[in-house]
A and B are shown apart, each in its own frame.
Chain A
């Protein structure tokens, strides 16, 4: 198998395809504490992200709706799974960590060690986009939207095409 084919299979592995075909947490949350819109106008990918936390500030529910390519859908699906039980601060760290992975920068080993192995495996799967720089923006869309949702001050529509 050529390197290319391997890259492609890494990117479109079953875990990703399953999440894109049958996204988790795919619904509109009526009384969400925070929400934000992610929209990449060139691609047409668009999603609305909803987040609600409990009294301790831990995310108890995260969901999304929208449409887009397999990568952006799988990313949003996996992210909403991952967010449950995290504080806003932890979620932000996770987003920063994921961006490092996608851009093929060395992630913080301490942070990685703290994460549970299953979460690590999911993020690694998504980070297959690092071999396809044109697609990093697709994987990042839901995470940027998360950052906007958690920081209502900058709560506008976000995009990842011109960054």
Chain B
């Protein structure tokens, strides 16, 4: 994999920040966009745009084709068995809300339990809490280990005959931990419990095969895999989706409407009410094709090398403490520093053109479990280089000089 060549595909990497070459280490928040994605979207708006489904003219039919091809592209990308198992949403957040509202309302009752882990993103906590206001089910929270790991053993302990769903991150956005999802799914299925994976972070870092995982639901956002914002995916096994009630009502999701009774289309249309983000699907398709042309396996190998290098290089800087050192990790380096608050670290790095994130990363319970209010977080994408890690290391030495 030729990173220097890849970098040329990302126009933004040529710009400067505060007069310095941009060192972008915030891909876990959102990835930058390669030219094929930008061009596919502007080409679509310039040459191919129309609303889908209802049009009787050529432009609308070809836009519909692009939209449908996008679904097939996602299906192949995560190796789903059927096209209609792919629902387009605004993003991982909406996908999680969809499952909580639709599946949750249909399948949970008083006394039931949904199992989460303590490192979940708020997007996999709050939708369940909202549902709890309507249905008095319980959330069981699997604790985090000191190194940010989640152990299968601890998940097993949380399972009982009350468990109706396990909903956990595939990769933690706060610590980079890769959860033992395959084992979790197997153990849950042995007990007849379905599993949803929040793949928001995992999707850009490793090959995801929903059939090999045997996940019941899998969610992710387009913008973290080099595609546009505003588009995301819910994968659900056909049998589940077919059994679920609509999530929102509107156009494009009904079979027949009268004021007495309305019947709904089967999935995926049932869950895609209203005019969708058509250009978003076009951009997402281009993004998935782009990473596929490079190879998810190559990307994973490259990012693993970067992460190992960063652990070594950053972890040994005096005053730096890495947060999240689980044996299996992906592309995320969370840390705190003696005497320097994460936001002050962020500001010093910014003045050197280095973009990182500071704060609780929408995972307050995870932070709390480590006794922290927040961390500084550097995260990697396929365009990052070893030099980027060196710049970060130099920047952190400057932080130390100021604050220590």
B374 contacts across to A, CB distance below 8 A: 43-44
Cα(A68)–Cα(B373), bound, Å: 9
Please classify how large the interface on chain B is, using the bins under 10, 10 to 19, 20 to 34, 35 or more: 20 to 34
Q: Are A69 and B18 in contact (CB under 8 A)?
A: no
Stretch of B45-53, B327-335, B342-350, B383-391 on the interface side: B342-350
**A22 is an interface residue with CB less than 8 A from chain B:** no
15 pairs, CB–CB < 8 Å, chain A vs chain B: A3-B19, A4-B351, A4-B352, A8-B351, A12-B348, A12-B403, A17-B403, A42-B359, A43-B343, A43-B358, A69-B342, A70-B403, A71-B343, A71-B344, A135-B347
B351 neighbours in A (Cβ, 8 Å): 4-5, 7-8
Give the nearest-CB partner of B340 in chain A: A70
- Chain A stretch 63-111: residues in CB contact (< 8 A) with chain B: 67-71
- Is B359 in contact with A43, judged by CB distance below 8 angstroms? yes
Q: Is the CB of A44 within 8 A of B344?
A: no
Does B238 count as interface, using CB distance less than 8 angstroms?
no
Whether, in the assembled complex, B20 has its beta carbon less than 8 Å from a beta carbon of chain A, the answer is yes
Asked if B71 lies at the interface with its beta carbon under 8 angstroms from chain A, I say no
**In the complex, A71 Cα to B341 Cα: how many Å?**
10
* B402 within 8 Å of A (CB atoms): yes
Give the interface size bracket for A toward B. 20 to 34
A11 contacts the other chain (CB 8 A): yes
Tell me, yes or no, whether A138 is within 8 Å of chain B by CB: yes
A2 within 8 A of B: yes
Partner among B343, B350, B352, B373 whose Cβ is within 8 Å of the Cβ of A138:
B343
Of the candidates B340, B342, B402, the one having the most CB atoms from chain A within 10 angstroms of its own CB is B402
Q: In whole Å, how far is B375's beta carbon from the nearest beta carbon of chain A?
A: 10
Q: With A5-B351, A44-B359, A44-B374 known to touch, is A69 a contact of B402 (CB < 8 Å)?
A: no
Q: A27 at the A/B interface (Cβ < 8 Å)?
A: no
With A4-B19, A8-B351, A43-B374 already in contact, the answer to whether A69 and B344 are too (CB < 8 A) is: yes
Q: Which positions 1-45 of chain A face chain B at CB distance < 8 Å?
A: 2-5, 7-8, 11-12, 17, 21, 42-44
Chain B residue contacts of A8, Cβ below 8 A? 347-348, 351, 402
Q: Is the CB of B402 within 8 A of A12?
A: yes
Q: Which residues of the other chain, A, contact B270 by a CB distance below 8 angstroms?
A: none
CA distance A25 to B348 in the complex (A): 27
Complex Cα spacing A45 to B271, Å: 40
Check B360 for interface membership: any CB of A closer than 8 A: yes
Bound state CA distance, A8 and B354, in angstroms? 14
CA distance A48 to B361 in the complex (A): 24
In the complex, what residues of A have CB within 8 A of residue B402's CB? 8, 12, 17
* Residues of chain A with a CB closer than 8 A to B18's CB: 4
Complex alpha-carbon distance, A132 and B403, angstroms: 18
Closest to B399 in A: A12
Give which listed residue, A21, A67, A68, A132, contacts B350 with CB less than 8 A: A132
Q: Which residues of A are in contact with B by a Cβ distance under 8 Å?
A: 2-5, 7-8, 11-12, 17, 21, 42-44, 67-71, 132, 134-135, 138
List the A residue with the shortest CB-CB distance to B374. Answer: A44
Complexed CA–CA distance, A72 and B232 (Å): 37
Question: Are A11 and B347 also in contact (CB < 8 A) when A4-B352, A44-B373 are?
Answer: yes
Q: Which of B344, B374, B403 has the most CB of A within 10 A?
A: B344
Interface string of B352-389 (1 = CB under 8 A from A): 10000011100000010000011000000000000000
How far apart are the CA atoms of A5 and B347 in the complex, in Å?
A: 11
- Give chain A residues whose Cβ lies under 8 Å from the Cβ of B403: 12, 17, 70
Q: B19 to chain A: which residues have CB within 8 Å? A: 2-4
List of B residues within 8 angstroms of A12 by Cβ: 344, 348, 402-403
Q: Which residues of A contact B347 (CB under 8 A)?
A: 8, 11, 132, 134-135
Most buried by A among B20, B343, B373, B374: B343
Docked pose: A7 CA to B341 CA in angstroms: 19
CB distance from A16 to the nearest CB of B (A): 10
CA distance A17 to B358 in the complex (A): 19
Q: Flag if A44 contacts B352 (CB, 8 Å).
A: no
Closest 9 CB pairs of A and B: A44-B373, A69-B341, A69-B343, A8-B351, A4-B351, A70-B344, A44-B374, A69-B344, A4-B18
- Alpha-carbon gap, A12 to B399, bound state (A): 10
CB proximity of A84 to chain B, nearest CB, Å: 27
- The smallest C-beta distance from A153 to any residue of chain B, in angstroms, reads 30
Please state if B20 and A70 are interface contacts (CB–CB under 8 Å).
Answer: no
Chain B contacts for A138, CB-based, 8 A: 343
Other A-B contacts than A42-B360, A68-B341, A69-B344, 8 sampled, CB-CB below 8 A, are A5-B351, A8-B402, A12-B402, A17-B402, A42-B359, A43-B343, A43-B358, A69-B341
> Would A67 and B373 be within 8 Å (CB), given that A4-B352, A17-B403, A44-B359 are in contact?
yes
Nearest to B339 among chain A residues (CB) is A21
Residues B4-55 near A (CB distance < 8 A): 18-20
CA distance A132 to B17 in the complex (A): 13
Report the separation of the CA atoms of residues A5 and B19 in the bound assembly, to the nearest whole angstrom. 11
CB-defined contacts of A2 to chain B, threshold 8 Å: 19
